Amino acid sequence: MADIYTFAKRVALAAFIILLIGSTFYMLGRHGYFFLLVFAGILLAVLFGGLAEWIQKKTKLKYGLSLLLSILLFFGVLVGAFILVAPTVSDQVQEMQKTLPSAISKVQDWLQSKGIGQKLVDKMPSDPTEVLPKNQGLFSKVSSIFSSTLSVLADLVIVIVTAIFLASSPKLYTTGFSKLFPPRHRTRVQEVLGKCYNTLKLWLLAMLLAMTMIGVSTAIGYSIIGLPMAFALALISFLFAFIPNIGPWIAALPALLIGLTVSPQMALYAMLVYGGIQMIESYIITPLIFQKTVDLPPALLLFFQVLLGIVEGALGLLLAAPILAVLMVVINELFIDEVLENDQPHRQL
């Protein structure tokens, strides 16, 4: 009788987890952008909370004051970096906008000289500037820019406000969420939430370290070979490093095009430098950083990135890795450990 009860309990738990995952994907499909914004707020709250805990540990201040200092430190670093780097990067970005059309023209000429690329050239516009948005009326341009900027600012405000609220009283929200479950399961739910928090915190730490190393090494490497707009390209590499697997390929394209405006040899040097940095990052830096933090299976991460990218676009692609890290914790804790490898019958959920 006990075996039948245990089997039924495991089947019910497995069905509940599958239903929960299915419902999550359904809600993401229907209202995914909203939930991704909330998750972005949670991710930023984890960053604020992690910084606050570090400050509290070092200074013995109360958590509230440590959180305030962590928020000020975060935005202070952003503003300081913007003040220091923005003028140079802004000039280089403007130069890049003027340079890219000629780079595209050189790519067309090179493809046209090769038989295999002739069909591609035939499908490309004869004027490279045609790939850019066509001129519109002044009012349409202003309206479009204003609405897009307003939408982005509104999203940022939602994310920042959500992060501050969550980081200021994390126990209030974790305890409230656990109350959705029966009393005998609440301790286990809070334990899993704690592991999700630690996973996101370690993942963020690892990613920030990897991004910084890639950005700095790319700036140094491009400057050594004399590639124009080295700092702007390094900033692109830094930002896109946040998107594993796909981001580095996107960041390599501007460097290749800018290199072609100088010479094919410069483009080759740029790709060799970038490829070398990515190899060192993939085989040395990432394993060293992630072996004690969070290691996501590359193939599974790629599939998940493609899925969220198709469903929710750029924001889904951006947040695919941390969402997968949380899902892996939930599945490992509530399904694999509790159902498939349940060596402790007294633990439930």
pLDDT, tens digit (0-9, with 9 covering 90-100), for 125-138:
555 444 444 444 54
- Expressed in angstroms, the distance from the first to the final Cα of the chain is 21
Query: Backbone phi, then psi, for 170, in 5-degree steps?
Result: -65, -35
Could you tell me if residue 42 is inside a domain? yes
Alpha carbon distance 196, 154 (integer Å) = 27
Could you tell me if residue 346 is inside a domain? no
pLDDT band for position 142 (50/70/90)?
A: very low
pLDDT, greater one: 341 or 10: 10
Rg, C-alpha atoms of the chain: 24
Could you tell me if residue 136 is inside a domain? no
97 pLDDT higher than 80: no
Could you tell me if residue 60 is inside a domain? yes
Cα 276 → chain centroid: 22
Phi-psi map region of 60: left, alpha, beta (phi>0 left; psi -120 to 50 alpha): left
Q: Which two three-digit tokens encode residue 71? A: 């928020």
CA distances from 129 to 93, 95, 102, 133, 233 (A): 17, 15, 9, 8, 21
Amino acid identity for residue 248 in this structure: P
Residue with tokens 């820019």: 145
pLDDT, greater one: 346 or 20: 20
Alpha carbon distance 255, 223 (integer Å) = 12
Average pLDDT over residues 56-79: 90
User: How many CA within 13 A on the CB side of residue 17?
Assistant: 20
In this predicted structure, what is the pLDDT of residue 102?
A: 65
Contact predicate 315/338, CB 8 Å: no
Q: Which two three-digit tokens encode residue 193? A: 């939430």
Could you tell me if residue 135 is inside a domain? no
Could you tell me if residue 345 is inside a domain? no
Nearest to 34 by CA among 120, 158, 148, 142: 158
In this predicted structure, what is the pLDDT of residue 340?
A: 67
Q: Which two three-digit tokens encode residue 184? A: 């005998």
Could you tell me if residue 347 is inside a domain? no
- DSSP-based three-state secondary structure for 244: coil
Q: What is the mean pLDDT of the chain?
A: 78
Phi-psi map region of 21: left, alpha, beta (phi>0 left; psi -120 to 50 alpha): alpha
Range(s) of the domain holding residue 288: 2-129+147-340
Q: Which two three-digit tokens encode residue 168? A: 């200021």
Contact predicate 63/56, CB 8 Å: yes
Please, what is the Cα angle at 293 between 291 and 299, to 5 degrees? Answer: 70
Tens digits of residue pLDDT in 29-62: 667 788 888 899 999 999 999 999 999 998 888 9
**What is the domain count for the chain?**
1
Number of Cβ atoms within 10 Å of the Cβ of 13: 17
Alpha carbon distance 321, 126 (integer Å) = 39
Could you tell me if residue 111 is inside a domain? yes
